[in-house]
């Protein structure tokens, strides 16, 4: 192993993959890899709408874990692509539980970063008896202040990225960025929604690492990932992440008895450390690992090393 992912496990081919039919016309794509008889672990991707990355399984020892990854509604290979109808946090929680039952899993380690951490906690609060523990990264709780930070606050540290994000819109649409982007991202015309999707994804990516990547030279063409990420994210943002009636921090009591390791970049500008610290303070049995030289991305060296160390620690707890 070398290069960007040199602290990760070698990948293993999927031993099972398929689609799980769900309500609202959705079909959830999933894969299983690692040890078919191993300790189950489920990977919850971020976004919302980013899709499960190909490297998701490499945070886990494939000889020990039975690794389940899936694309949430509208993301990745799930169908319909970038669909926002019948797509809420409650739907996603129900999908996780339906997938668990379909795969015959009794309990599993729940691993999630960014929005995936939000979903991991929301799922755990709803189904604590199905969770053996949690590995969380770049914690996000879906509160209004966190959404406002993403849309406006990050510009304190990345003013050029924030300015480009704002300047994508005509001057008359800049008073309410979220409403304007949501309107454009849900417009049926690709000439409207694709450039908006690329602008949203570029803004987020520009703020996600301690050392920002080199600017892309792709002619501004939006990828399928950009469309699902941006459209579904805007849909969740504008609806308060569908968590207003069940705020996470106030309901952590349901899972405080379970072990949790939180890996957090000190300079995470997408999901600032104050949120991870609040979860840790409200969860006395949790462990907070602060990576001193990292931002938000799971693939920054210190973050990926911390996540692998966390799944290795859980081998002792779950073996």
36-71 tens-digit pLDDT: 999 999 999 999 999 999 999 999 999 999 999 999
Catalytic residues: 114, 268, 296
This prediction's pTM:
0.95
> What are 93-112's pLDDT values in tens digits?
999 999 999 999 999 999 99
- Is residue 243 predicted with pLDDT exceeding 90? yes
Residue 98 burial class via C-beta count within 10 angstroms: exposed 0-12, middle 13-18, buried 19 and up: middle
Which band of pLDDT confidence, cut at 50, 70 and 90, is reported for residue 216?
Answer: low
């Amino acid at each position: 192993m070398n290069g960007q992912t040199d602290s990760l496990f070698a990948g293993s081919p999927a031993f099972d993959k398929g689609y799980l039919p769900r309500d609202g016309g959705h079909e959830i794509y999933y894969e299983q890899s690692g040890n078919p008889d191993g300790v189950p672990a489920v990977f919850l991707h971020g976004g919302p709408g980013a899709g499960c990355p190909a490297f998701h399984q490499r945070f886990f020892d494939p000889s020990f874990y039975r690794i389940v990854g899936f694309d949430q509604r509208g993301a990745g290979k799930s169908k319909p692509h970038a669909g926002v109808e019948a797509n809420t946090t409650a739907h996603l929680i129900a999908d996780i539980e339906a997938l668990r039952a379909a795969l015959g899993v009794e309990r599993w380690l729940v691993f999630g970063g960014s929005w995936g951490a939000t979903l991991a906690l929301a799922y755990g609060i709803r189904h604590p008896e199905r969770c053996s523990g949690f590995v969380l990264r770049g914690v996000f709780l879906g509160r209004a202040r966190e959404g406002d930070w993403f849309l406006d606050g990050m510009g304190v540290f990345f003013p050029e990225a924030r300015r480009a994000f704002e300047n994508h819109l005509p001057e008359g649409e800049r008073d309410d960025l979220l409403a304007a982007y949501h309107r454009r991202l849900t417009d049926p015309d690709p000439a409207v929604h694709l450039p908006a999707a690329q602008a949203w994804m570029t803004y987020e990516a520009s703020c996600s690492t301690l050392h920002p990547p080199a600017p892309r030279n792709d002619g501004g063409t939006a990828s399928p990932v950009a469309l699902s990420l941006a459209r579904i994210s805007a849909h969740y943002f504008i609806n308060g992440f569908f968590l207003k009636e069940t705020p996470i921090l106030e309901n952590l009591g349901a899972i405080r008895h379970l072990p949790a390791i939180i890996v957090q970049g000190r300079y995470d500008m997408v999901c600032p450390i104050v949120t991870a610290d609040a979860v840790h303070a409200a969860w006395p049995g949790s462990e907070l690992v602060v990576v001193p030289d990292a931002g938000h991305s799971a693939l920054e060296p210190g973050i990926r090393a911390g996540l692998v160390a966390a799944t290795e620690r859980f081998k002792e707890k779950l073996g």
